[in-house]
A = this chain, B = another copy of it.
């Protein structure tokens, strides 16, 4: 799927230079973000899901990744406003350039999937609702994790050592 390579580079460098990375989304989008957060945490990046039990305060050295295809989902939009007002960097992953969330965000990783808002250039999908966007998020997050592993020369086998062992 056509995601701008520069956007991906900007996203990776924002993740690597942040003190903490926060994630917000709703429904299946949130589930994909949780998988991504879990994988990045294995690589030593401090990740938090907005609303989780042990969420700390966000600050100006932190990044909020807000994912919403339409950019109009209530919770991500309101949380992004709040994060912005506190001084955190806000990155949107979504489709709709004209959305409220796009206007709040410092920058946007644009994904041309279909949304409830029907953007002009969206990729036609036979899939149910916004499935394509949710699948994209998981795969894109795992690709970013893979790039970080390669660049930082992380030994994949050693990752099992700090993986949760009570399961």
Contact = CB atoms under 8 A, between A and B. Distances in A.
**A interface secondary structure, majority:** helix
Q: Which of A73, A75, A135 has the most CB of B within 10 A?
A: A75
B41 A160 contact: no
Contacts of A134: 35, 138
Interface stretch (A9-17, A76-84, A93-101, A104-112): A76-84
Nearest to A162: B57
A128 B166 contact: no
Contacts of A128: 39, 42, 142, 145-146, 149, 156, 159
This protein's copies in its complex: 4
Contacts of A166: 22, 24, 50, 55, 58, 64, 79, 82-83
A35 to B, nearest CB: 5
What interface size band does chain A fall in? 35 or more
Contact of A49 (B26, B32, B53): B53
A123 interface: no
A5 B151 CA distance: 39
Contacts of A74: 78-79, 82, 167
A79 B166 CA distance: 6
A124 interface: no
